[in-house]
Amino acid sequence: MSLLQGLLRNRKALVGAGILIVIVLLAIFAPLLTEYGPTQRVGRPHQPPSADHWLGTTRLGYDVFTRLLYGARVSLAVGFGAGLLITVIGTVLGIIAGYKGGVVDEVITFFTNMILVIPNLPLLLVLAAFIGQASPLVIAIILGFTSWAWGVRVTRSETLSIRQRDFVKSAEMLGESSWRIMSFEIFPNLISIVGINFIGSVIFAVITEATLEFLGLGDPNTVSWGIMLYNAQNASALSVGAWWELLTPCVALAVLGLGLALLNFAIDEIANPRLRTGGMLARWVGLVRAGEGRL
């Protein structure tokens, strides 16, 4: 059963994908859904939600709903962009290290382990602090180049076991070039690991971008969910009672997190059938239990 078929049959995956699709559509059609611009002062400061401003206004008089829609673009772009970068670097290095072995493997593994033990968040903070006000693009690039280590480790160990299989041996006998073996024999067998790595990296990138921006390391002129949090915190939104300014990006990030979590969970279930709820093992245990009661 391929990963895609499995996903289509899994209810959690469908709900997760549904949430993501809705957010993507809202982001794409932002200009059609709201009459205001995201950086346009359209009302008095800190207006509560009303018919004119569905989610109220910020301290600067921006429309919160509009910023929510446009902010989704940046948050999604950074999440998926950085997630893709992390996954590509991790997968490529992992396959090369696992298949080539020898010195290449040792060098890659050494750097991977080193990055794994240097704590990620402080490293990112130091980098971002020196860069100053990091734009979303810069944040995505920093994330991509500092966070691939976990992917390399997992991909490498899986490649090591696939390398021993017969079809790889026979491809080697046939004299296929090593890059061809790596990309057409080994890579297709790693799809589910790549999928878990990708979704996990997207979650990580979304969370980290929001955190860095909340901490004031982002560019305050961008319109993103992290910057919305930062502005709300700076405007002391909670103490002046403007809960809509702060809770809107919070709920948005939580919903996005929920969608990604469901997808992650589903891929994990499909990739490791043992962990699946209601699988063969559980049914067997159920049978045993039923028997126990009667004896």
Partner 1 sequence: MIFLLRRLAFYLAAFLAAATINFFLPRLMPGDPIRMMFASAGSELSLENLNALKLTFGFIDAPIGEQYLAYLRSVFTGDLGRSIKYFPLPVTDLLGRALVWTVGLVGIATLLSFSLGTFLGVMAAWHRGTRLDTAVSLSSIFASSVPAVVVSLIMLFVFGYTLGWFPNGYAADPMLDPAWSWTYLSSVIYHGTLPMLTLVIVLTGGFAVTMRNNMINLLGEDYIVMGRAKGLSDQRVMLWYAARNALLPTVSALAISLGSVLGGSLVAEVVYNYPGLGNTLYQAILARDYPVIQGQLLIMTGAMLVANFLVDLSYVLLDPRLKRA
User: What residue ranges bind partner 1 (CB under 8 A)?
Assistant: 12, 110, 113-114, 117-119, 121-123, 125-127, 129-131, 203, 206-207, 210-211, 214-217, 229, 238-239, 243, 246-247, 250, 253-254, 257-258, 260-262, 264-265, 272, 274-275, 277-279, 281-282, 286, 288
Q: How far apart are the first and last CA of the chain?
A: 39
Smallest gap from Cβ 114 to partner 1, in A, equals 5
Amino acid at 35: E
CB of 225 to partner 1, least distance (A): 9
Residues contacting residue 255 through CB under 8 Å, at least 6 positions apart: 19, 23
Of residues 41 and 135, the one with the C-beta less far from partner 1: 135
Q: Which is nearer to partner 1, 37 or 216 (CB)?
A: 216
CB of 121 to partner 1, least distance (A): 6
At its nearest, how many Å lie between partner 1 and the CB of residue 290? Answer: 14
Considering the complex, state which of residue 157 and residue 183 has its C-beta at the smaller distance from partner 1. 157
Nearer to partner 1, 38 or 249 (CB): 249
What's the rounded Cα separation, in Å, for the pair 278 and 290? 16
Of residues 48 and 286, the one with the C-beta less far from partner 1:
286
As measured in angstroms, the least distance from the Cβ of 182 to partner 1 is 28
In whole angstroms, give the CA distance from residue 45 to residue 60: 5
One-letter amino acid at 273 equals P
Q: What are the residue ranges of helices labelled H in the chain?
A: 3-9, 11-28, 30-33, 64-100, 102-117, 120-131, 136-146, 149-163, 166-173, 178-180, 191-214, 225-234, 243-271, 280-294
